[in-house]
Amino acid sequence: MRTDLLRVLKSNGMGLVLVAALALFPFALSLLSGEPVNAGAPKFWQGMLAQVFILAVYALSYDLLLGITGVLSFGHAMFFGGGAYVAGILLKHGRWELLPVVGAVIAVALVQSLLVGALSLRVKGVYYAMVTLAFAQMFFILAEASDFRELTGAEDGLQSIPVPAWLSPTNERLTFYFVTLAFCLIVYLIAKRVVDSPTGRILIAIRENEQRAQTVGFNTFAYKLIAMTLAGVLAALAGMMSALWNLSANPGMLASGTTINALLMTIIGGAGTLSGSLLGAGFLQLVGYWLNDAFGPRWPLLFGLVYIAIVLFLPYGIIGTWRMRRQGR
Q: How confident is the prediction for the chain on average, in pLDDT?
A: 90
Q: What is the pLDDT of residues 186-227, one digit of tens each?
A: 999 999 999 999 999 999 999 999 999 999 999 999 999 999
C-alpha Rg value of the chain to the nearest Å: 20
Q: How many CA atoms lie within 13 A of 26 on its CB side?
A: 20
Indicate the pLDDT class of residue 182, thresholds 50, 70 and 90: very high
The mean pLDDT value for 266-285 works out to: 91
Q: Residue 322's pLDDT band (boundaries 50, 70, 90)?
A: confident
Residue of 189, 280, 229 whose CA lies nearest to 69: 229
DSSP 165: G
Pick the range with the lowest mean pLDDT from 39-43, 123-127, 230-234, 239-243. 123-127
How would residue 10 be classed by pLDDT, with cut points 50, 70 and 90?
low
Running DSSP on this structure, what letter comes out for residue 158?
Answer: B
DSSP 8-state code for residue 285? I
* pLDDT (0 to 100) of residue 5: 42
**What's the pLDDT band for 184 if we cut at 50, 70, 90?**
very high
Cα(235)–Cα(243) distance, integer angstroms: 12
How far is residue 223 from each of residues 43, 66, 187, 210, measured CA to CA in Å? 43, 14, 20, 11
pLDDT one-digit tens code per residue, 109-120: 999 999 999 999
Query: What pLDDT is attached to residue 328?
Result: 64
The answer, yes or no, to whether residue 15 has pLDDT greater than 80, is no
pLDDT of residue 125: 84
Average pLDDT, stretch 228-246? 96
Q: Residue 64: pLDDT band by 50, 70, 90 thresholds? A: very high
User: Given this model, what pLDDT does residue 13 score?
Assistant: 66
Give the mean pLDDT of 166-172: 93
d(C-alpha 271, C-alpha 316), whole Å: 7
Distance of CA 288 to the CA centre of its chain: 17
| Range 263-268, long-range pairs (CB < 8 A, 24+ positions) | 263/62, 263/66, 264/307, 265/55, 265/56, 265/58, 265/59, 265/62, 266/59, 266/62, 266/63, 266/66, 266/67, 266/317, 267/310, 267/311, 267/317, 268/307, 268/310, 268/317, 268/318
Q: What is the mean pLDDT of residues 292-316?
A: 86
Residue 249's DSSP bridge partners are: 158
- Specify the pLDDT at position 268: 92
Picking from 194, 192, 195, 163, the residue whose alpha carbon sits closest to that of residue 180 is: 163
Of 49-63, 94-108, 180-194, 266-280, least confident by mean pLDDT is 266-280
Q: Name which of 9-13, 49-53, 74-78, 231-235 the model is least confident about.
A: 9-13
Domains and CATH numbers, the chain: 2-255 (1.10.3470)
Q: Indicate if the pLDDT at residue 8 is higher than 70.
A: no
Whether the per-residue pLDDT at 3 is higher than 80: the answer is no
If you average pLDDT over residues 38-63, what whole number do you get?
95
pLDDT at 4 over 50: no
| Per-residue H/E/C for 223-278 | HHHHHHHHHHHHHHHHHHHHHHHHCCECHHHHCHHHHHHHHHHHHHHCCCCCCHHH
Q: What percent of the chain has pLDDT over 70?
A: 95
* Reported confidence tier of residue 11, pLDDT bands at 50, 70, 90: low
Query: If pLDDT is split at 50, 70 and 90, which confidence band does 9 have?
Result: very low
- The model carries a pTM of 0.93
Query: Is residue 250 scored above 90 in pLDDT?
Result: yes
